[in-house]
Homo-oligomer: A and B are copies of this chain.
């Protein structure tokens, strides 16, 4: 069996490893143009800050030894009838099974001069940005999502004066409600980073970004507007594409026979929304890759069905952890729920412990079903931990009153007897009159 996998990232590689687990003889060919095997884009801000080297992020996986091969190219055209594709290097490759794991590419906003802005998307781009970093000079980051804020922090640590421009009213608005976004804004402001919200970059010029008519000095401009699925191969093959990416079934099959798709290039099912939405998370891509691989290797059953994502997300914004899962209260309302928001603020460790750190947590419940719909957490540490718990609670349909039973292990160096999560649950139960 010849399996062609377009895209060597978390999803594509997971698919390949999974196929090999059950079918050691499978002939696996990757198609990917980048000059190394795996690359960890989420590590780029840390390399920019200087915590690690950019070289730590690009890895040769030794595909030969794994019985896999590779073509350094992109798909130029896909013929799903003939089960064959042609690369942009002119090679024609037939397949028995194809996995599209083409990922997402940076969005280039329609801003005059945007090509002068650099995008933190690869170790090569990192080098360009590092070469442009001059302490005391000005950097403008266009986009206040996770990558924009992480890049802003790194540039600040490198000694630059940093301004972030965000079109929306609040940063990280897809994951956080405005009050929690505001916590981040306050934190970054205190750290000397300027966050401008509800503003639009109008043009990128030599040494400046124009924004609301003002020329913001910008010795370095970064484009961190976001990512969009790479759908060129899917389009060329005539696959069915939805609002957010390639459409697949629960087994990650696309509309074309023997063509699977996983990761950032597909629409992902959200049990909370009862529909699909875009997810750009390596964890999601990995799990989807495993399922596609298992299906290609002939496995079936519950274990190899994608049941949907609750979007567990964390970003290291400066010294803080910012995490979220499920729906914000705005998204919950949009989806037809009647959200009840419960918040709690407190220390992760007991107040009397040395170095106790503070955490803000927000839970969103549905008033009618009383089920948990979302969780946001912002603080020095422990944010992801609580959001992961919330994601499992959402996946298993926990109601506010069920979560009263949640037990979190206690030891003063790690946690409190009664966690902020427990307190937020108690507040919700009281307000729901349960």
Contacts and interface: CB of A to CB of B under 8 A. Distances in A.
A85 interface: no
Contacts of A413: 46, 316, 321
Q: What are the 3 A-B residue pairs with the smallest beta carbon separation, nearest first?
A: A316-B413, A314-B409, A396-B396
Contact of A312 (B387, B388, B408): B408
A213 B225 CA distance: 73
Contacts of A411: 42, 314-316, 321, 384
A295 to B, nearest CB: 13
A407 B310 contact: yes
A268 to B, nearest CB: 11
Nearest to A324: B409
Number of this chain's copies in the assembly equals: 2
Interface in A37-79: 40, 42-43, 46, 51-52, 56-57, 59
Contacts of A325: 407, 409
Interface of A: 10, 14, 21, 40, 42-43, 46, 51-52, 56-57, 59, 281-284, 286-287, 290, 301-303, 307, 309-316, 321, 323, 325, 350, 352-354, 384-385, 387-389, 391-393, 395-396, 398, 401, 404-415, 417-418, 426, 429-430, 434
A384 B46 contact: no
A179 to B, nearest CB: 20
Contacts of A415: 314, 384
Contacts of A51: 353-354
A266 B413 CA distance: 27
Given A10-B417, A283-B410, A392-B393, 12 more contacts: A43-B353, A290-B404, A302-B401, A303-B401, A303-B434, A311-B407, A313-B409, A316-B413, A384-B408, A384-B411, A389-B392, A391-B408
A398 B396 contact: yes
